Amino acid sequence: MIQLRLFARFREELGVDSEQLASDELCCVEDLLNLLRQRGGAWSRLLAEDQRIMMAVNQEMANPQTPLHSGDEIALFPPVTGG
Amino acid sequence: MIQLRLFARFREELGVDSEQLASDELCCVEDLLNLLRQRGGAWSRLLAEDQRIMMAVNQEMANPQTPLHSGDEIALFPPVTGG
Amino acid sequence: MYTIRVDSEPFDPNHEVDLLRGEDPAIGAVVSFVGLMRDLNEGERVERMFLEHYPGMTENALEQIVKQAFERWQLQACRVVHRVGELKPTEPIVLVAVASAHRKEAFQGCEYIIDYLKTQAPFWKKETTENGERWVDARDSDDQAIRQWSADGS
Amino acid sequence: MYTIRVDSEPFDPNHEVDLLRGEDPAIGAVVSFVGLMRDLNEGERVERMFLEHYPGMTENALEQIVKQAFERWQLQACRVVHRVGELKPTEPIVLVAVASAHRKEAFQGCEYIIDYLKTQAPFWKKETTENGERWVDARDSDDQAIRQWSADGS
């Protein structure tokens, strides 16, 4: 299992703060993104290929090629706007 | 007449704060420097060609070619060290 | 020697700079950046702002950025404070204060940290205006800003 | 909108930054540089320092430098305070605080002003150490610093 976390506009528009997902078929973050896009609706819109998406694995910035392992915490969020 | 002013190390080592000088023969700051160098002693040492000298005419930074006129205030000083 | 803090209460940038100076009496130069909440953004009056963050990751990200600055320049001390939660106009959002024996390094270290904070630290701003709530969009100029740090060797 | 002051009394950089912020509620970013008197210079303990200046010309020179910064970058406000007379270790020597809507411009404006102040404003430092008095020498690195401002077009 992996834990998915969503922040800011993603959290609000998807109505999900965090969820557990089976990780057996997920080699990397890209696989997770594709899985979520298949849900359609706001998922496919917010996570579309042409959207700017930031991602973190175990609280470190990651990219679509970052490998996933059971127990990982994966976060998806829009570009950051602090400072 | 022009007024010569000296600051910092120049003022201390020459023992002069300011003095009035006839300006008839002085076309530019270079002429004044040459005149003062002829005084010998600390004057020729401090104002030697290989020394770093800063100069101002009427409280604006100047250079040896800056022209002089009667009534001008000319200041000579070592490189500045504020800030 | 650095301090990083994510704070849900208002903070006083002046006090933080005093603490930075107090850490080392040999400090000769301090460069600081303070980002303040404005009451106007993109032509709309902003009544308040909510700053969301990713607890845990935020602190890690800030620490990595500050460590990279210490590796790149000779810095004596650094203090980063970032506000989260509900903010009112004119309140400080962020302070980055850097001390170094050489002012050029203090300037570069400070600018490097705020540039990376803006693009790499997980904070998100949501404004409440007279027309309702809106998430603040990221700016391309912030992405451009960090590119200079890999392009120039300074 | 700028304020320049040459002060023979100790000043509080924090208070000056507050005054800068107070000048315009639209200010979103402030970059400031504070130079402090250290108790050690070139390996010798410094007991006190005297800062000589050229009254009249000093203010003119600072004003020219600040005006050039305003011409070059979009700045909202600026405050420059420089101490003269007798100083004790840890006292502030100089503050340069700059506000701009864009942080890059605030950083550049602030660094430009302190770089030119160091090489163009008529101040001279004399230190009193355990071995007597000495005039502080100008540093080549300060001359190099201003060259970047004519070399780069930024």
Closest CA of chain B from D22, distance in Å = 25
| Measured distance CA(D6)–CA(C150) in Å, rounded | 40
pLDDT tens figures, D34-60: 999 988 888 889 999 999 999 999 999
Alpha carbon distance A40, D133 (integer Å): 78
CB atoms within 10 A of CB C25: 12
pLDDT band, residue A12 (cuts 50/70/90): very high
Residue pLDDT, tens place only, B25-59: 999 999 999 999 999 999 999 999 999 999 999 99
How many inter-chain contacts (A to C, CB under 8 Å) are there?
73
Query: CB-based contacts of A10: which residues, under 8 Å, 6+ apart?
Result: A46, A76, A77, A78
| pLDDT < 70: residue spans in chain C | 23, 152-154
What does the radius of gyration of chain A's CA atoms come to, in whole angstroms? 12
Helix axes D103-120, C103-120, angle to 10 degrees: 180
Element (H, E) at A54: strand A54-57
Confidence of residue D152 (pLDDT cuts 50, 70, 90): low
Chain D residues closer than 8 Å to B59 by CB: 54, 56-57, 60
Query: In D23-43, which positions are buried (b, 16+ CB within 10 angstroms) versus exposed (e)?
Result: beeebbbbbbbbbbbbeebee
Burial of C89 (0-12, 13-18, 19+ CB in 10 A): middle
Q: Which residues of B touch D61 (CB under 8 A)?
A: 61
Q: What is the ipTM of this complex?
A: 0.93
Burial class (CB in 10 A: 0-12, 13-18, 19+), D146: middle
Taking only the tens place, the pLDDT of each residue in C71-113 is 999 999 999 999 999 999 999 999 999 999 889 999 999 999 9
What pLDDT does residue D39 have?
Answer: 86
Q: Does C144 touch chain A (CB under 8 A)?
A: no
Length of chain D: 154
Q: How far is B27 from chain D (nearest CA, A)?
A: 23
Residues A50-72 pLDDT 10s: 999 999 999 999 999 999 999 99
Q: Which of D55, D72, D52 is nearest to D115 (CA)?
A: D72
Half-sphere exposure of B14 (CA within 13 A, CB side): 24
